[in-house]
Amino acid sequence: MKSTSQKFTHQKPHASLVRILPKHAGRDVSGVVSVRHRGTRHKRYYRVIDFKRDKVDVAGTVMSVEYDPNRNAHISLVRYTDGEFRYIVAPLNLQVGTQIMSSSQADIAIGNALPLSNIPVGTEIHCLELHPGQGAKLVRSAGSFASVIAKDDKHVQVKLSSGEVRKIPSVCKATIGRVGNVGHKDEIVGTAGRNIRRGIRPTVRGTAQNPRSHPHGGGEGRSGEGMHPKTPWGKKARGVRTRNPRKWTKKLIISRRSR
Residue pLDDT, tens place only, 182-237: 999 999 999 999 999 999 999 999 999 999 999 999 998 888 888 999 999 999 99
Query: Boundaries of CATH 4.10.950.10 in the chain?
Result: 204-219+229-259
pLDDT of the residue at 127: 96
Residue 246's pLDDT band, with cuts at 50, 70 and 90, is confident
pLDDT band for position 7 (cuts 50, 70, 90): low
Residue 78: name the closest of 91, 20, 177 by CA.
91
Q: Give ranges for CATH 2.30.30.30 in the chain.
A: 15-183
Return d(Cα 30, Cα 114) in angstroms, integer. 43
Return the CATH fold of 15-183. Answer: SH3 type barrels. (2.30.30)
Q: Which CATH class is domain 204-219+229-259?
A: few secondary structures
Q: Is the per-residue pLDDT at 253 higher than 90?
A: no
pLDDT at 49: 97
Q: Quote the pLDDT of residue 2.
A: 44
pLDDT digits (tens, 9 = 90+) for 40-98: 889 999 999 999 999 999 999 999 999 999 999 999 999 999 999 999 999 999 999 99
pLDDT of residue 240: 85
Mean pLDDT of all residues in 239-257: 80
Task: Tell whether pTM > 0.75.
Answer: yes
pLDDT at residue number 30: 95
pLDDT of residue 242: 77
Quick check: 4 pLDDT over 70?
no
Q: Which pLDDT band, with edges at 50, 70 and 90, does 241 fall under?
A: confident
Closest CA to 136 of 108, 172, 169: 172
Residue 1 has pLDDT above 60, yes or no: no
pLDDT at position 31 is 93
Q: What tens digit of pLDDT does each residue of 134-155 get? A: 999 999 999 999 999 999 889 9
What's the pLDDT tens digit per position in 151-176? 988 999 999 999 999 999 999 999 99
